[in-house]
Structure 1
Amino acid sequence: MNKITAQFQNKNALITYISGGDPSLEMTEKLIYKLQNEGVDLIEIGIPFSDPLADGPVIQEASQRALKAGTTLKKLIAKLDKIQNRVEVPLILMGYYNSILNYGEKEFARDISKAGISGVIVPDLPVDERADLFKYLAEFDISQIMLVTPNTSEQRLKKISAKSSGFLYCVAHLGTTGDDQQGIYPELETYLNRVRKTAGELPLGLGFGIDGPEKAKKIIDYSDGIIIGSALIKVIQAGNNEDEMLNNAGQFVKSIKSKL
């Protein structure tokens, strides 16, 4: 079974997002250990980018901090390669196509495979784009996790489901990450039932705007897992030093896990 898909078996999976290199690559390493020790099932690591269009201000600012600290995709992959023997949960890189294209698509797939990365999310790479990246990820057995939204057409949903592996990322509302003011899509159950009919056995992960345990509790019955990013970054940044940041992350994850 696919390593990512296996994390959804017989449980509701918790998927967390952190921005690689925020505030440093050393802190990213410590956060990965902390999150896996607290029971996170999958960890998404953002590739710092100057113009992350799908992300709200919290992740945009995290990306800027990482870039100012000197984080590059090459350095991030090197760090993950170095620690892979200590990481048991599957790691997923989430980033924009321009970063990967500049790195080199085949080189990117090859290097992240060597570094033990299990999956990739590229929010601005449409399913019908004839990018070589799809071919190279499959060649190196890296899951291509794609996104669907409440207004994704049935025809497009079939294409996306067919190309996705690991899980299908279901966007909970129209907008950017971290927009908890907009609220979860009001017809969430209908939306996810429609997706599930097309996706078959592919697990559904629900993200965007899930800001805490109470919201997680309300929606967990509709999907196979939830994805939390901006809210986690906020509580991490509330710490005054590394110990407080790590403790904040651990306590937040515990509060979410208690509702799953």
Structure 2
Amino acid sequence: MTAHISNYFSSLRNAQRDSLASRNQCALIPFVVAGDPDLETTAEVLRVLDFNGADLIELGFPYSDPLADGPVIQAAANRALQRGTKLEQVLEVVQATSPSLKAPLILFTYYNPILNQGIEQFLNKIAIAGIRGLIVPDMPLEEANELLEPAAAMGIEVALLVSPTSSKERIKAIAHSSQGFIYLVSVTGVTGMRSHISADVKDLLMQIRTVTDKPIGIGFGVSEPEQARQLRDWGADAVIVGSAFVRRLATGTPTQGLQAVGELCRNLKAAITTTEAKYASP
């Protein structure tokens, strides 16, 4: 049984509860889309990521109207949906795979599938399967307690998102309610690979630090080892990388995609855990 998200981060910190980055450590959270290119590959890519250094793994449930996702992840979700990928199938893969993984699994899903299932029923299903965390990008903060409270009762931690446009008051409210860690969105807009990370992210990270000691993971736009290392140096507790993994997994045969994913995972992990690592982007 994998650890809960908050317990996992706590185990990486010392008794003084300092940030991972202050000790030259940073967690890696890769993201992949369930069912792309197929569910058999999804099971295998979870094992590949776990073996090659992922500290936690974010698994995206394909949705027909992914407002927060860029073109790479949208295309992957569309392919998965065209193959008929259903929640029950995804959870079967998770239940069969999660016991062998060290990395806790976080499910990324939009709010509508949760409401369609019913909050209690949805949470019960994913908890039984072995999901330990949940990210719902379009869930209004004002409605968050409807999900947060029953999720906590079932051992699932819901990480809330802070965006560059969040007000100081909203950041404080999000930081107070977020479970496991806080997801800091590095850009305004959708996910996707970008050539650089704005220095404004560092300022926003420091602002969040003034209101909470919870771990902070940064995602959206991170694709290269150099970018991941920069975020670690700025003070991130975790770096979340999505489109770069999704694109590699979709390139060539499934075997070639898995090899490319493993290589990227190793390079990213080396970049955020060593001080003078020499690495090259695959």
User: Identity over the aligned pairs, expressed in percent?
Assistant: 38
Q: How does 1:140-155 map to 2 (within 5 A)?
A: 140-155=154-169
Structure 1 counterpart of 2:125: 111
Within 2, Cα distance between the matches of 1:58 and 1:184? 19
Alpha-carbon offset, residue 82 of structure 1: 2.3
The 3-state SS of whatever aligns with 1:81 is helix
Q: 1:193 aligns with which of 206, 217, 232?
A: 206
SS of the aligned residue for 1:89 comes to coil
* Structure 1 gap ranges (5+): none
Q: Deviations over 1:6-64 (max 9, x none)?
A: 44314310000000111111110000000000010010000110010000000000000
| Match in the other structure for 2:265 | 253
TM-score by length of 1: 0.94
Instruction: Give the partner amino acid of 1:3.
Output: H
Contact 1:22 1:63 in 2 (8 A): yes
Which of 146, 152, 160 pairs up with 1:138? 152
| TM-score normalised to structure 2 length | 0.87
Q: Is the 8 A contact 2:30 2:241 kept in 1?
A: yes
1:16 to 26, 30, 45: 30
Question: Shift of residue 136 of structure 1?
Answer: 1.7
Name the amino acid aligned to 1:61: A
CA positional deviation for 1:4:
1.4
Query: What runs of 5+ residues in structure 2 fail to find an aligned partner?
Result: 14-24, 273-282
Q: What does residue 208 of structure 1 align with?
A: 220
Q: Equivalent residue of 1:133, what SS? A: helix
Q: Number of aligned pairs? A: 256
Distance 1:3 1:131 in 2: 19
Alignment match, 2:4:
3
Distance 2:84 2:4 in 1: 31
The amino acid that maps onto 2:5 is: I
Match of 2:41 in 1: 27
State the alpha-carbon separation in 1 of the partners of residues 146 and 200 from structure 2: 36
Q: 2:238 aligns with which of 212, 225, 228?
A: 225
Q: d(CA) in 2 for partners of 1:6 and 1:180? A: 32
Structure 1 residue ranges (4+ consecutive) displaced by more than 4 angstroms after TM superposition: none
- Answer whether contact 2:34 2:80 (CA < 8 A) is retained: yes
> 2 CA distance for matches of 1:3 and 1:137?
12
Instruction: Name 1:72's counterpart in structure 2.
Output: 86
In 2: Cα distance, 1:24 partner to 1:245 partner: 12
Q: CA RMSD in A?
A: 1.5
The answer to whether residue 72 in structure 2 is matched with residue 58 in structure 1 is yes
Larger RCO (CA within 8 A; separation ≥ 6): 2
1:131 Cα deviation from its structure 2 partner: 6.1
Aligned partner of 2:204: which letter?
Y
Q: Which amino acid aligns with 1:233?
A: V
CA distance in 1, matches of 2:219, 2:204: 14
Answer with 211-220 or 167-176: which moved more.
Answer: 211-220
Closer, same or farther: CA 117–130 of 1 in aligned 2, 3 Å? closer
**Shift of residue 180, structure 1, vs aligned partner:** 1.0
> 2:105 — aligned with what?
91
Q: What is the Cα deviation at residue 130 of structure 1?
A: 5.9
- Look up the match of 1:235: 248
Question: Residue 248 of structure 1 aligns to which amino acid in structure 2?
Answer: A
